[in-house]
Homo-oligomer: A and B are copies of this chain.
Amino acid sequence: MELLNFLTSSAELSSGSGPEDHVVLSSRVRLARNVNGVPFPGRAKKKVRQEACDTIKPLVSAASAMRGGFTAGMEDLKALDKQLLVERHLISREHAAKGGGSALVLNKDETLSVMVNEEDHLRMQALMPGMQIKQAWQKIDRFDTSLEKKIDYGYDASYGYLTACPTNLGTGIRVSAMLHLPGLVLADQVNQIVQAVTKLGHAVRGLYGEGTEALGHIFQVSNQMTLGESEGEIIERIHKVVLQIIEHETNARANLQQAKSKELYNHVGRAYGVLANAHIVSSKESMNQLSLIRLGVKLGMFEDLEVAVVDELFLVTQPAHLQQFVGGKLSGEERDVHRANLLRDRLSGVKSVQFPK
């Protein structure tokens, strides 16, 4: 099956809102595992890496959780395909740069994915919509347990799972939630929250982790420590932190509605007005304006706009998805025009609620 056809059908399965999705866009748990006695991918000679990949790939794709899924060597994926996968958070940018000797295995609805020979021999993740940190943990834990029966993981009795980078040593777990925090940004409170969360030992970064800039008011919260705590404790701590952030964001939105309603309507109205009428829109602007529209939708400011439409636009206005949509390679300038066309097309008929005068 072609990747594009696969992603089209899998997206239909995975779309749909999750719990607390007014704030939590997605929850993710990933585990880093390595094969006992085989050098880490970054250390292995090409032949050894290729052999490891050839051994691991079929074991992963034969797992029952991967039934109806998608498997490919990275050398078989086109550049655009790889970029699509990055935009869907299914592989890392680093993995997208890999060729032979690395692979990807996806399950049927994109909730489970395994990168073979990224930094570690196995990087497996469960990615679920909304606030489903615990569900994602259960999913990946079950999958990991089933895989452990077939693969001899590198494990040390005192350190735990061995990983290429010491920051992953022990549990090898990275738990993260993608949070939409426009209320805290508009209320100028987001830095306080970021500092508090960081002090509690969690990492906070903007979408795709590009510096500190948070495109689309989207922040990723994740655990820093993988050693000295059990997976259950790590999950529990980050779960609590995310619940607190949800509460802060919800309060910030309520405050804006009560005390700064004109400013709020102004932000959301302008964002809608621009995207429904512009003819050139950059990826960055698209993210930031869609973020404000999403906030407006969740606060009931639009009569006939579903959050699913906005979330789809978040995805399909990104470079690779846009080129897939148009069906051809586009320059940066061409993308900005096609992105604007797509946004106008989807948004221009929508009725926005007028502010009570």
A300 to B277, CA, bound (A): 16
A40 within 8 A of B: no
Binds B, one of A116-124, A186-194, A212-220, A262-270: A262-270
A344 touches B354 (CB 8 A): yes
Q: Tell me the chain A residues, 112-156 only, with Cβ under 8 Å from chain B.
A: none
**Contact partners of A276 in chain B: CB under 8 A:** 273, 277
Residues from chain B with a CB closer than 8 A to the CB of A262 are 279-280, 337
Do residues B341 and A357 form an inter-chain contact, with CB atoms below 8 A?
Answer: yes
- Give 1 or 0 for each of A321-357: 1 = CB within 8 Å of chain B CB: 0000000000000000100110010001000101101
A256 at the interface (CB under 8 A from B): no
**For residue A357, which residues in chain B have a CB less than 8 angstroms away from its CB?**
341
Q: Which residue of B lies closest to A348 (CB)?
A: B354
Count copies of this chain in the complex.
2
Interface check A243, CB cutoff 8 A: no
A278 within 8 A of B: yes
Q: How far is the CA of A275 from the CA of B277 in the complex (A)?
A: 11
Q: State the Cβ distance, A265 to closest chain B Cβ, in Å.
A: 4
Other-chain contact of A277, B263, B273, B340 (Cβ < 8 Å): B273
Residue on B nearest A280 in the bound complex, by CB: B266
Is A314 part of the binding interface, using a Cβ–Cβ cutoff of 8 Å? Answer: no
Select from chain B the residue with minimum beta-carbon distance to A333: B262
Q: Are B277 and A270 in touch, CB under 8 angstroms?
A: yes
- A307, CB-defined interface residue at 8 Å: no
Please state if A272 and B277 are interface contacts (CB–CB under 8 Å): yes
A352's closest neighbor in chain B, by CB? Answer: B277
List of B residues within 8 angstroms of A265 by Cβ: 279
Question: In whole angstroms, what is the CA distance A269 to B156 when docked?
Answer: 62
Q: Contact check, B277 vs A269: say whether CB atoms are below 8 A apart.
A: yes
- Point out which of A269, A273, A275, A280 has the most chain B C-beta atoms below 10 A from its C-beta: A273
Say yes or no: is A227 at the interface (Cβ < 8 Å to chain B).
Answer: no
- In contact, B270 and A355 (Cβ under 8 angstroms): no
CB of A324, distance to nearest CB on chain B (Å): 18
Task: Please measure, in the bound complex, the distance between the C-alpha atom of A270 and the C-alpha atom of B280, giving whole angstroms.
Answer: 9
**Cβ-based interface call for A274 (8 A):** yes
Give 10 new A-B contacts, CB below 8 A, not counting A266-B280, A277-B352: A262-B337, A263-B280, A266-B340, A270-B277, A270-B278, A273-B274, A273-B275, A273-B278, A276-B277, A341-B355
Mark A residues whose CB is within 8 Å of B.
262-263, 265-266, 269-270, 272-280, 337, 340-341, 344, 348, 352, 354-355, 357
In the assembled complex, 20 residue pairs joining A and B whose CB atoms fall closer than 8 Å, in A order, are A262-B279, A263-B279, A263-B280, A266-B278, A266-B279, A266-B280, A269-B277, A269-B279, A270-B273, A270-B278, A272-B277, A273-B273, A273-B274, A273-B275, A273-B277, A277-B352, A279-B355, A341-B355, A341-B357, A348-B354
